[in-house]
Chains A and B, each alone.
Chain A
């Protein structure tokens, strides 16, 4: 079998193993918290008898490993159980929320990734000149400001003063794609500003790393313009570190956007997750934890595979 396939298969197998390990950690973590679900449900009304009854009803008296496998099997079948606090089906709630989160993340990615790479290329083209310093300063300022601050400034500007866009971003199932996009603009732009600097700076650094190579000189001596040298000859050889940072930021967009969701009242996974942590709703926390882990691992897997495929020595063996 070609070496590249072996490497990719290895990465996928490792990803699965990692996911399994994390599922154990999540389950064990919620298990060692003081008190159990029955106590949480009954709260002050708990007496030894009805605690015992509820535990039997919920199957909490089974050994830990049995409950782990039941939970894991449920997860794989798409049955995430039901929330303790409301009794609602978790799969249904998560389905709706995850879709919103992915939509927002996709919006922000489409906006920020090409922009970050383009700005990185421009920064290299005008290295140490005015443009480079301006881009660096602006993106650094954007990453240094807290996201809620950027969010509120945007709301103030475009939502209140100019009144171009809605100030809250509640999305419903019955919205058209156009309506959805309109309400997503402000949170999407906020998130883009947050992730832009990291990706742009990595693009700049990775390209500067290969720009000293002899083949860049070869390209320049063919009479190619400065920008096409960077774009055609430097970028393809600097892809691997850039892709890694890009996917890391995409993972952040999916997993870590609680603050922005709260600011814009956007019904995404982050808010849902935090709400249920506060309610000590263990099944929801477990389900969300596993979904976040899976997304993180999947994106990093994609980054690894792209790195492997972008290495000509691996992709085109002798």
Chain B
């Protein structure tokens, strides 16, 4: 029998109520989870939000957020049961034997301390090295993670480096004290795809080089397929299945795993654009005050009843373009035309009818709705505002919309907080539909949702488009979603349109460099994809 570094046996985690009672129904958030990890191996935890991935990860450090407590089972690290340790015993293990890499490095670093001081803090706390040795080791690890200016990057403060670099510094922070186990909690989720691939590659490289074992938590099966030896699939706090990466990806046993594997496979037949676009942008340039231009001479068209997908990484100007179309930001130069007529630059100068015909759905459904309004009130507002309907005509229409978006009419009197993330986004869709618009701007509407839920939202949008013939300006950073929904695609990079046309053209070769980079960076399920793509890039770079 192999010697295990970490053994989790029948783990149960609960959230007790204020009085410490954890016997209540619904208090248990993780039940009967078991896994074991050998030295230097990587276990991937995968599941949707609320599946208990982070909870299990943090349990391996003997830690629970807020009132979360481990209420059953055993966690054995290096032969010692973590659950029998007192606070001092846990502190002796944390940061020395097991380290944690948080999802958002930007929030996970103390904003008022230099990176190097934070990197070596645990090492010094546990008296593993002298300060000088620790700094030397930290710089070594920075170099191994291919951070630029490895000797000096530590002197910076967190806000002075980019998101991808920060995530690597956080990995270095975890490695510095030479732990046996690192918990990676969605380390690349907040990054752009092109950045994700680099961070993923460097994390994989250092795991191998330093021989450390890891638990890698993510909701993206394709990412975990690249890095894990074993995969555990979780749903609602329970284990669905566990197996080697190859087995789970290639021969999944459970229905739920199969569903996860088939995400983003919606097919959408593209339509040819017509000559009379509903929305047209001509040479739009925009900026915020004195800052450099965020949009640079952008021209594109959206045909009636079709979808134009606007793709790009963060900072490429996608959302700014939405602000210009909605009239929240006046362009410096250029014209936005609607139905052949130029629109006023600012929202205050637009007519009520013009406002009605362009609606918007935001990324964060929960902050886009008034938390003190019921679903009914939220959907009724635009109907009252634009059509002046009252009484039974109003409630009839609200109920019709609620059915249309796939909610039950008895959910109409709930508040947004009582709905799930996917249901909230549906309510936002109903609110946009209520104005009977010609165009809906969808700004990253699926990126805050779990993949399966996101897929359902895409299906709903496609159905609505067919029934109501609404045009979507679909903003996303996710090229896979583009394939499922778009008729035309515009690729943005640094405020410019680098590629624009019908989907079949934009997404097939020959590519420009940026689109190629973007497309090739989307993780694929195939194990070994990461190595192949990196090797290809290296060869290309050598060839040029």
On whether A215 and B111 interact (CB within 8 A), knowing A221-B63, A223-B91, A223-B125, the answer reads yes
Is the pair B107, A215 in contact by a Cβ cutoff of 8 Å?
Answer: yes
How long is the Cα–Cα vector from A310 to B95 in the complex, in angstroms? 28
A220: Cβ under 8 A from any B Cβ: yes
A225: Cβ under 8 A from any B Cβ: yes
Is the pair A236, B102 in contact by a Cβ cutoff of 8 Å?
Answer: no
Minimal beta-carbon separation of A215 from chain B (angstroms) = 4
Is the pair A213, B107 in contact by a Cβ cutoff of 8 Å?
Answer: yes
On whether A222 and B108 interact (CB within 8 A), knowing A214-B102, A312-B157, A318-B159, the answer reads no
Minimal beta-carbon separation of A54 from chain B (angstroms) = 61
Is the pair B92, A223 in contact by a Cβ cutoff of 8 Å?
Answer: yes
Is the pair B94, A236 in contact by a Cβ cutoff of 8 Å?
Answer: no
Is the pair A223, B100 in contact by a Cβ cutoff of 8 Å?
Answer: no
How long is the Cα–Cα vector from A310 to B91 in the complex, in angstroms? 29
Minimal beta-carbon separation of A190 from chain B (angstroms) = 36
A44: Cβ under 8 A from any B Cβ: no
Residues of B within 8 A of A237 (CB): 110-112
Minimal beta-carbon separation of B241 from chain A (angstroms) = 29
User: Hey, what's the 0/1 contact readout for A222-254 against B, CB within 8 Å counting as 1?
Assistant: 111110000001001100000000000000000
How long is the Cα–Cα vector from A301 to B126 in the complex, in angstroms? 41
B286: Cβ under 8 A from any A Cβ: no
Is the pair B159, A312 in contact by a Cβ cutoff of 8 Å?
Answer: yes
Smallest CB gap from A216: residue in B: B110
Among B117-168, those with CB < 8 Å from A are: 121-122, 125-126, 156-160
Is the pair B96, A217 in contact by a Cβ cutoff of 8 Å?
Answer: no
Is the pair A223, B122 in contact by a Cβ cutoff of 8 Å?
Answer: yes
Residues of A within 8 A of B156 (CB): 316
How long is the Cα–Cα vector from A215 to B109 in the complex, in angstroms? 5
Is the pair A222, B94 in contact by a Cβ cutoff of 8 Å?
Answer: yes
CB-contact partner of B122 in A213, A217, A222, A226, under 8 A: A222
Smallest CB gap from B66: residue in A: A212
How long is the Cα–Cα vector from A318 to B158 in the complex, in angstroms? 10
B19: Cβ under 8 A from any A Cβ: no
Is the pair B110, A222 in contact by a Cβ cutoff of 8 Å?
Answer: no
On whether A214 and B63 interact (CB within 8 A), knowing A221-B95, A236-B112, A318-B160, the answer reads no
How long is the Cα–Cα vector from A128 to B8 in the complex, in angstroms? 33
Is the pair B159, A221 in contact by a Cβ cutoff of 8 Å?
Answer: no
Is the pair A223, B96 in contact by a Cβ cutoff of 8 Å?
Answer: yes
Among B180-234, those with CB < 8 Å from A are: none
B244: Cβ under 8 A from any A Cβ: no
Residues of A within 8 A of B96 (CB): 223
B93: Cβ under 8 A from any A Cβ: yes
Residues of B within 8 A of A219 (CB): 110, 121
On whether A214 and B108 interact (CB within 8 A), knowing A312-B157, A318-B160, the answer reads yes
How long is the Cα–Cα vector from A313 to B61 in the complex, in angstroms? 32
Is the pair A214, B104 in contact by a Cβ cutoff of 8 Å?
Answer: yes
Residues of B within 8 A of A310 (CB): 112
Residues of A within 8 A of B121 (CB): 219, 222, 224
Residues of B within 8 A of A316 (CB): 156-157, 159-160
A218: Cβ under 8 A from any B Cβ: yes
How long is the Cα–Cα vector from A213 to B110 in the complex, in angstroms? 9
Smallest CB gap from B170: residue in A: A218
How long is the Cα–Cα vector from A7 to B76 in the complex, in angstroms? 54
On whether A218 and B109 interact (CB within 8 A), knowing A223-B96, A312-B157, A318-B160, the answer reads yes
Minimal beta-carbon separation of B329 from chain A (angstroms) = 24
Minimal beta-carbon separation of B422 from chain A (angstroms) = 25
Among B64-107, those with CB < 8 Å from A are: 65, 87, 90-96, 99-100, 102, 104, 107
Smallest CB gap from A317: residue in B: B160
User: Hey, what's the 0/1 contact readout for B40-68 against A, CB within 8 Å counting as 1?
Assistant: 00000000000000000000010101000
How long is the Cα–Cα vector from A195 to B357 in the complex, in angstroms? 60
On whether A214 and B94 interact (CB within 8 A), knowing A222-B121, A223-B125, A313-B159, the answer reads no
Q: Which of B107, B112, B156 has the most CB of A within 10 A?
A: B112
Can you list 14 contacts pairing A with B, beta carbon distance less than 8 Å?
Answer: A214-B108, A217-B108, A218-B109, A222-B99, A222-B125, A223-B91, A223-B93, A223-B94, A223-B126, A224-B95, A233-B113, A237-B112, A313-B159, A316-B160
- A221-B63, A224-B91 provided; 15 other pairs, C-beta below 8 A? A215-B110, A217-B102, A220-B94, A221-B94, A221-B99, A222-B121, A222-B122, A223-B125, A223-B126, A225-B91, A233-B110, A236-B112, A312-B159, A316-B156, A316-B157
Interface residues of B, Cβ cutoff 8 Å to A: 61, 63, 65, 87, 90-96, 99-100, 102, 104, 107-113, 121-122, 125-126, 156-160
Interface residues of A, Cβ cutoff 8 Å to B: 213-215, 217-226, 233, 236-237, 310, 312-313, 316, 318
